Amino acid sequence: MLITDRIGEASDADVFDQVLAHPDPVGGYRDKIGPLQMLPFPRTLFLDSDARLTAPVDALFAALGPADLAAVHAPVRHPPGWSDKRVPALFPELNSGVLLFRRGPLQRRLVRRWLRLYDRLHHRFGQTWDQASLRSVVWRLMQRRGLRLAVLPAEANFRTTKPWVAGQGLPVHVLHGRVPSDEQPLLQAYLNNNVERFRTWAEWFDLHPESQLTLRIGKPAPEPPRF
């Protein structure tokens, strides 16, 4: 199923069983949250528009198990802006671009509270980042309502725009990042043809210096003080 605000422009829309108009698009992170309130399927895999499957989907649904939510921790730790100080520092932000849900009362409560907190933070602080609000709501529902969370490995949500490592013994199941179409088969082959070794962004760029992958590594660390 595809939900979009541009039904007439959706490329390859015929591959989806259902194409629905987004009820209230704003052109930001908020757009992903609202439609998750009324899921039509018992189990749902949500993918951002820049995420694509690179291995059979069955493994992802199997990893959800009995949990209400499954996700991968975000590789960026608490970026500047609001963060819930009542949540332990080592409880991660979850990357919201690839999410597995088990439909039910806790899932609906999670999405409603996530949307409400997101709107409050956006109104009060101008914060558009959606993962800080998700982190806060997930932690609270785990503590108070028994929400079951399954944390998946990075290969289930492989962020190509961050320094990356694919672990030995596991293929990449979801590529998350806008990979140039002509590089997609080459990158997928590098990541998944031989999984009995580590695969890294550093080696990828050594092998393919002409690669157009975008890699954002943040600001350089300050020089240590000299004594």
The stretch 58-66 carries a mean pLDDT of 97
Strands (E), the chain: 2-4, 19-21, 43-47, 51-53, 69-72, 98-102, 149-152, 158-159, 165-166, 174-176, 199-200
**Confidence band of 224 (pLDDT split at 50, 70, 90):** very low
The stretch 63-86 carries a mean pLDDT of 92
Mapping DSSP to helix (H, G, I), strand (E, B) and coil, where does residue 175 land?
A: strand
For 65: left if phi > 0, alpha if psi spans -120 to 50, otherwise beta; the answer is left
- Tell me whether strands 98-102 and 158-159 are parallel, antiparallel or unpaired: unpaired
Question: Model's pTM, two decimal places?
Answer: 0.89
